[in-house]
A and B are shown apart, each in its own frame.
Chain A
Amino acid sequence: GAGVSQSPSNKVTEKGKDVELRCDPISGHTALYWYRQSLGQGLEFLIYFQGNSAPDKSGLPSDRFSAERTGGSVSTLTIQRTQQEDSAVYLCASSLEGLNEKLFFGSGTQLSVL
């Protein structure tokens, strides 16, 4: 596609429910990032995929968070048993090679946990 696509753009869920957020990176991009941005705050790193290497999961805040990237393309971020503090914008970004390359961002998923 022309850019990084994220879906849904908005998600409202109830506390305790599981949610899945999807990211379609730019075709051919080997690197994919997930970041979390709370209201008016900076970007908190969550996870980084680079080609066939083991992902860097060092930013995942708890074991309720997981992510996978199938076939080196689409990625899904899953949050289990959502809590109110999970409410934020979840941003996905991809780049051609990974290190020191320009990142192309999606428009994010606004997650609201009631």
Chain B
Amino acid sequence: AQTVTQSQPEMSVQEAETVTLSCTYDTSENNYYLFWYKQPPSRQMILVIRQEAYKQQNATENRFSVNFQKAAKSFSLKISDSQLGDTAMYFCAYQGAQKLVFGQGTRLTINP
């Protein structure tokens, strides 16, 4: 079964700094998708960014970018110029041929 591991339960940075959240996964599949979701205190899960495994180019969405290392099965999220509104739980997720599987999450706090 596929597993997703986020090794950082909590992180805290100052506003405007850059922060990187780690994620590793275990799979024997060759075709799959990886996601980062954000869950603010409102509890509403929001998709931040998506990466297709067959694409070598790292996905970017404004201040959010990923470092996808397929051989290492690593999928980290970089948030540049962090803002107070980025404070949330961040979940890494994997989907191959079956259900979407989430990691345990990283609680990110942006301090003013």
Residues of chain A having any CB pair with chain B under 8 Å: 33, 35, 40-43, 45, 48, 56, 58-59, 89, 91, 93, 99-100, 102-103, 105, 107-108
Are the C-beta atoms of B105 and A41 separated by less than 8 Å? yes
Q: Is the CB of B33 within 8 A of A100?
A: yes
CB distance from B12 to the nearest CB of A (A): 16
Residues of A within 8 A of B103 (CB): 42
Interface size (B, Cβ < 8 Å)?
24
In the complex, given contacts A33-B99, A107-B42, what are 8 additional A-B residue pairs having Cβ atoms less than 8 angstroms apart? Answer: A41-B105, A43-B105, A45-B99, A59-B99, A99-B97, A103-B45, A105-B46, A107-B44
Question: Which residues of the partner chain B approach A89 to less than 8 Å between Cβ atoms?
Answer: 43
Chain B residue with Cβ nearest A50: B99
Q: Are A103 and B47 in contact (CB under 8 A)?
A: yes
User: Residue B102 contacts which of A42, A107, A108 (CB distance < 8 angstroms)?
Assistant: A42
CB-CB < 8 A to B101: which residues of A?
A: 45
